[in-house]
Amino acid sequence: MEGVRTKRRELSRRGWGLHCSAALLALGCAASTSAHAQGPSSSPDPVILILGDSLSAEYGLPRGRGWVALLEQRLQRERLSWRVVNASISGETSSGGRSRLPALLDQHRPRVLVVELGGNDALRGLPLSMTRDNLSEMVRRGQASGARALVLGMQMPPNYGRAYAESFMGLYAEVAKAHQAALVPFFLRGVADAADPTALFQADRIHPSEAAQPKMLDNVWPALRALLR
């Protein structure tokens, strides 16, 4: 247990603590499952389906303050008639997302699929090849259903080793390139790697604060906006 606490402190000092959500779950800490996927709607508006983990599930935030909720507000301001379905769950792995996706595609028939998963895989020591296969299959299924896909890339802390960190970061680009999907290379750019990330994380030094959410949306918006056609 002391080793886990030491490792957690090391990650927090580098501003990468968000990636520890899976480790906390393994220790029995409570996890939020906010922002459940909405049910079917009679609205004719096309759907953006967000499939992610705690980064997208408003973990530790007041409802309606996460980047996905800010996305809905931006769409309204810009008078873009899209409906956002947030199917993110805190602690989710790429395997969990892959298993849930077929039913979500059948239910919501999205025109755009945003995949924000994989960080928890690495923290659990799962093979990178499995993460790559799961991400690839989610993108393939989404595209086969008629959706345009956007992959949100992640990075691991430097103390995981340079070779591992580079391989992990690279798998997102590999998946996007293989399927000609859109890519955000690093979803937490300007947050996890900020010069002083203190204000951008919650008191637990693990999850992004409310102040970080607009930056997260700004990282996603250019690539996502290009798909809304």
For 47-86, what is each residue's pLDDT tens digit? 999 999 999 999 999 999 999 999 999 999 999 999 999 9
In angstroms, the CA 188 to CA 157 distance is 12
C-alpha to C-alpha distances, 67 to 90, 115, 136, 160, nearest whole angstrom: 14, 14, 24, 27
Residues annotated catalytic, as ranges: 54, 204, 207
Half-sphere exposure of 85 (CA within 13 A, CB side): 23
Do the bridges between strand 83-86 and strand 112-116 make them parallel or antiparallel, or are there none, so unpaired?
unpaired
**Domains, the chain, with CATH or none:** 2-225 (3.40.50.1110)
Helix (H, G, I), strand (E, B) or coil at 83: strand
In sequence order, what are the residues at sequence separation of 6 or more whose Cβ sits closer than 8 angstroms to the Cβ of residue 145?
A: 105, 109, 110
* Total-model pTM: 0.84
Identify which of 144, 219, 137 has the alpha carbon closest to the alpha carbon of residue 183.
Answer: 219
Tokens of 69: 């909720």
Helix, strand or coil, per DSSP, at residue 211: helix
pLDDT digits 0-9 by tens, 155-169: 987 778 888 899 999
